[in-house]
Structure 1
Amino acid sequence: MAIARTLKHYLDEHHVRYDTVTHTPTETAVDSARSAHVPVHQVAKAVVLEDDSGYVVSIVPSNNRLNLEWVKEELQRDLHLATEPELGNLFDDCDIGAVPALTQAYGLDAIWDDHLKHVSDVYIEGGDHQHLVHLSGEDFRQLMRRLPHSIISASEDYSSWMYE
C-alpha cells in the first residue's frame, strides 16, 4: 500500500497535489524521515488522544514530543492516549502506528502544532511503514486552517529539562 485509500480520497477530493516517498520499513516518524532523507522537522506525526467526549489527534513535528498538558489546557479536555486496538478501528485502512496526520480524512478532530506553520514542505505517514506522503506546506496549512493550533510540543531536550 503506497497510500491509504481514505487519505488518497481526501487529498484528491480537496485537489491537493502530493507525491509519495518510499523508504525502508521503520517504526517511528523520526526513523521514517531519516530513512527517506527528509528533514525530521517537516515530518508531521499524529498522536491520537481520547476522553469521554471522543477522540482528538495532536499533530506535531516528528522530532518533538507532544506535551499532553499543553493540549489539555488548550482544548479544556481531560485527554489521554488512545490504545492500539482503538487505532485499528479508527484507521482500518492503515497499519498500526502509521496514522496519517490528516486525520480529518477519517472524521476526527485535530489540533496542530504551530511549529508546522512555516515549513515549506510537509511529509506525513501514508498509512503504512514504508511510505510518506509529501505535500507543500501551503497545502497542509490550507487543509488545517479551520482546526485549532498552538504550541503543543517541544524538542525532547526542552521537554526533559522542563519535567525533570
Structure 2
Amino acid sequence: MPVKKLKTFLDEKNVKYVSIKHSSAYTAQEIASSVHVSGKEFAKTVIIKIGEKMAMAVLPASYQVDFKLLSEVFGSKNVTLASEAEFKYHFPDCEVGAMPPFGHLYDMEVYVAEVFRGNNYIAFNAGSHTEIIRMAYEDFERLAEPKILKFSWKTVSLPRDPSERWEEDL
C-alpha cells in the first residue's frame, strides 16, 4: 500500500488531511479534474536533476517547469528532467510518477513553485495513481520545508470551439 508511509508521517505530526480515492488517472490535470480540485491547487511532483543530484520540483498541475529559470536559479546549465529509469528506485513504496512532494521521506530536496503561496490548500498524489491527499498548504510548507522558487509558467488551454472563452484555471 503506497500511501501508508505518507499517512503515518502526517498522522505522527497531527496534521489534518483528507484522503480521496479516485479511478486510475495519470496526468496531473486529469487527476485534478476527476477529484474536482483546481489545477492551481493540485501539485505535480517532477523529478529534476541538478548536475547528478536529484530533487523534487513541485508545481501546480496547470503549470510547466521552466528549465531556463531553474538553470539561472541554480547557476548551472545542467538542470534537466530526470527519466523514470533514473528515479524510480528512489521511491520503492510509490507507483512511478505518483510520488508525494515530501522529499525528506526519500532523501531529496524539495523546490516548490512560489505560486502555491497564495493557496489555502494543496492536493497531491499519495504514492499511487488512485489516491490523493488534500491538506492545508501551510501545514505542507511547515512539514516539507521546501525552498520556494519561481521556476514555472502557466499553460494556456485553447478553447475547442472558437466561441468558447479561454480557461483561466481548471
> TM bucket by the smaller chain?
0.7 to 0.9
- SS of the residue 2:118 aligns to: coil
Q: Is the 8 A contact 1:114 1:149 kept in 2?
A: yes
Tell me the residue number matched to 2:92: 92
Deviations 1:10-66 (A, max 9, x none): 323333221211111111111101011111110111110114441111110011011
Tell me the residue number matched to 2:5: 6
Q: How does 1:30-41 map to 2 (within 5 A)?
A: 30-41=29-40
Q: Is the 8 A contact 1:6 1:106 kept in 2?
A: no
- SS of the residue 2:58 aligns to: strand
Question: Aligned AA for 1:98?
Answer: A
Moved over 3 A (4+): none
Identity %: 24
Q: Residues of 2 paired with 1:156 and 1:38: CA distance?
A: 17
Q: How does 1:1-164 map to 2 (within 5 A)?
A: 1=1, 4-77=3-76, 78-144=78-144, 146-157=145-156
- SS of the residue 1:95 aligns to: coil
**How many residues are treated as equivalent by the alignment?**
156
Q: What TM-score do the two structures reach when normalised by structure 2?
A: 0.83
Q: Residues of 1 paired with 2:97 and 2:13: CA distance?
A: 25
Deviation at 1:71, TM superposition (A): 1.5
Q: What TM-score do the two structures reach when normalised by structure 1?
A: 0.86
Deviation at 1:117, TM superposition (A): 0.3
Q: Residues of 1 paired with 2:44 and 2:136: CA distance?
A: 16
- SS of the residue 1:41 aligns to: coil
Q: Is the 8 A contact 1:33 1:40 kept in 2?
A: yes
Unaligned runs of 5+ in 1: 159-164
Tell me the residue number matched to 1:162: none
Question: Aligned AA for 1:120?
Answer: N
Q: Is the 8 A contact 1:56 1:110 kept in 2?
A: yes
**Larger Rg computed on CA atoms:** 2
Deviations 1:91-123 (A, max 9, x none): 111111111122222120111111100111110
RMSD of aligned alpha carbons: 1.8
> Whose helix proportion is higher, 1 or 2?
1
Q: Residues of 2 paired with 1:30 and 1:135: CA distance?
A: 18
